[in-house]
Amino acid sequence: MNHIYELQKGVRQMVLFTCPKRYEAYATKRLYSQNMDFVLQPAGKNNLNFYIGRKECLNAIRLIVTRPLNELTPEEDFILGTMLGYDLCAQCERYCERKTACKGRCDKCQHAQ
Protein backbone atom coordinates (compact mmCIF):
# COMPACT_ATOMS: atom_id res chain seq x y z
CA MET A 1 0.00 0.00 0.00
CA ASN A 2 2.81 2.40 0.87
CA HIS A 3 4.53 1.78 -2.48
CA ILE A 4 1.34 2.59 -4.39
CA TYR A 5 0.85 5.78 -2.37
CA GLU A 6 4.43 6.95 -3.01
CA LEU A 7 4.14 6.22 -6.73
CA GLN A 8 0.81 8.03 -7.02
CA LYS A 9 2.16 11.07 -5.16
CA GLY A 10 5.32 11.19 -7.29
CA VAL A 11 7.67 10.51 -4.37
CA ARG A 12 9.11 7.62 -6.38
CA GLN A 13 9.17 6.80 -10.09
CA MET A 14 9.60 3.07 -9.55
CA VAL A 15 9.63 0.50 -6.75
CA LEU A 16 10.60 -3.13 -6.42
CA PHE A 17 8.22 -5.26 -4.38
CA THR A 18 9.11 -8.89 -3.64
CA CYS A 19 6.43 -11.24 -2.36
CA PRO A 20 5.64 -14.94 -2.13
CA LYS A 21 4.06 -16.41 -5.27
CA ARG A 22 0.88 -17.20 -3.34
CA TYR A 23 0.08 -13.44 -3.29
CA GLU A 24 0.41 -12.97 -7.05
CA ALA A 25 -3.34 -12.85 -7.77
CA TYR A 26 -4.01 -10.40 -4.93
CA ALA A 27 -1.09 -8.11 -5.84
CA THR A 28 -1.86 -8.03 -9.58
CA LYS A 29 -5.57 -7.39 -8.91
CA ARG A 30 -4.63 -4.51 -6.60
CA LEU A 31 -2.22 -3.00 -9.14
CA TYR A 32 -4.76 -3.26 -11.96
CA SER A 33 -7.45 -1.67 -9.77
CA GLN A 34 -5.09 1.28 -9.12
CA ASN A 35 -4.19 1.50 -12.83
CA MET A 36 -0.52 0.90 -12.01
CA ASP A 37 1.94 -0.34 -14.63
CA PHE A 38 4.22 -3.18 -13.57
CA VAL A 39 6.61 -5.88 -14.70
CA LEU A 40 6.44 -9.26 -13.00
CA GLN A 41 9.47 -11.55 -12.80
CA PRO A 42 10.22 -14.74 -10.88
CA ALA A 43 12.55 -14.37 -7.89
CA GLY A 44 13.75 -17.80 -6.93
CA LYS A 45 11.46 -20.77 -6.47
CA ASN A 46 8.85 -19.24 -4.20
CA ASN A 47 8.89 -15.47 -4.77
CA LEU A 48 8.03 -12.86 -7.36
CA ASN A 49 9.49 -9.44 -8.07
CA PHE A 50 7.01 -6.73 -9.00
CA TYR A 51 8.63 -3.69 -10.61
CA ILE A 52 5.97 -1.00 -10.35
CA GLY A 53 6.19 2.46 -11.80
CA ARG A 54 6.33 4.67 -14.83
CA LYS A 55 6.34 3.08 -18.26
CA GLU A 56 9.72 4.59 -19.15
CA CYS A 57 11.32 2.94 -16.14
CA LEU A 58 9.62 -0.40 -16.74
CA ASN A 59 10.74 -0.43 -20.38
CA ALA A 60 14.33 -0.07 -19.16
CA ILE A 61 13.79 -2.84 -16.60
CA ARG A 62 12.67 -5.19 -19.37
CA LEU A 63 16.01 -4.58 -21.11
CA ILE A 64 18.29 -4.59 -18.05
CA VAL A 65 16.88 -7.25 -15.72
CA THR A 66 16.82 -10.32 -17.95
CA ARG A 67 18.08 -12.82 -15.37
CA PRO A 68 18.09 -13.25 -11.57
CA LEU A 69 19.26 -10.18 -9.66
CA ASN A 70 22.26 -11.98 -8.18
CA GLU A 71 23.51 -12.57 -11.74
CA LEU A 72 23.46 -8.93 -12.81
CA THR A 73 26.76 -7.35 -13.76
CA PRO A 74 28.08 -4.62 -11.45
CA GLU A 75 26.93 -2.08 -14.05
CA GLU A 76 23.41 -3.49 -14.29
CA ASP A 77 23.17 -3.69 -10.50
CA PHE A 78 24.25 -0.05 -10.23
CA ILE A 79 21.68 1.10 -12.78
CA LEU A 80 18.90 -0.84 -11.08
CA GLY A 81 19.78 0.53 -7.65
CA THR A 82 19.86 4.11 -8.85
CA MET A 83 16.58 3.66 -10.73
CA LEU A 84 15.00 2.42 -7.51
CA GLY A 85 16.18 5.56 -5.74
CA TYR A 86 18.74 3.95 -3.47
CA ASP A 87 21.36 6.24 -1.96
CA LEU A 88 23.69 7.26 -4.79
CA CYS A 89 26.88 7.19 -2.70
CA ALA A 90 25.99 3.76 -1.31
CA GLN A 91 25.37 2.55 -4.87
CA CYS A 92 28.76 3.92 -5.97
CA GLU A 93 30.45 2.14 -3.07
CA ARG A 94 28.60 -1.12 -3.86
CA TYR A 95 29.58 -0.84 -7.52
CA CYS A 96 33.26 -0.34 -6.72
CA GLU A 97 33.25 -3.27 -4.28
CA ARG A 98 31.52 -5.58 -6.77
CA LYS A 99 33.73 -4.47 -9.65
CA THR A 100 36.92 -5.01 -7.63
CA ALA A 101 35.75 -8.31 -6.10
CA CYS A 102 34.95 -9.93 -9.42
CA LYS A 103 37.75 -8.51 -11.53
CA GLY A 104 39.35 -11.43 -13.32
CA ARG A 105 37.49 -14.03 -11.23
CA CYS A 106 33.81 -13.76 -12.02
CA ASP A 107 32.28 -15.73 -14.89
CA LYS A 108 28.94 -13.96 -14.42
CA CYS A 109 30.24 -10.46 -15.02
CA GLN A 110 30.11 -9.41 -18.63
CA HIS A 111 32.59 -6.56 -18.32
CA ALA A 112 36.01 -6.62 -19.93
CA GLN A 113 38.62 -8.15 -17.69
pLDDT tens readout for residues 31-47: 999 999 999 999 999 99
* pTM (predicted TM-score): 0.83
Confidence band, pLDDT 50/70/90 cuts, at residue 104: low
74 exposure class (CB count in 10 Å sphere: 0-12, 13-18, 19+): buried
72 exposure class (CB count in 10 Å sphere: 0-12, 13-18, 19+): buried
Write the secondary structure of 14-36 as one string of H (helix), E (strand) and C (coil): EEEEEEEHHHHHHHHHHHHHCCC
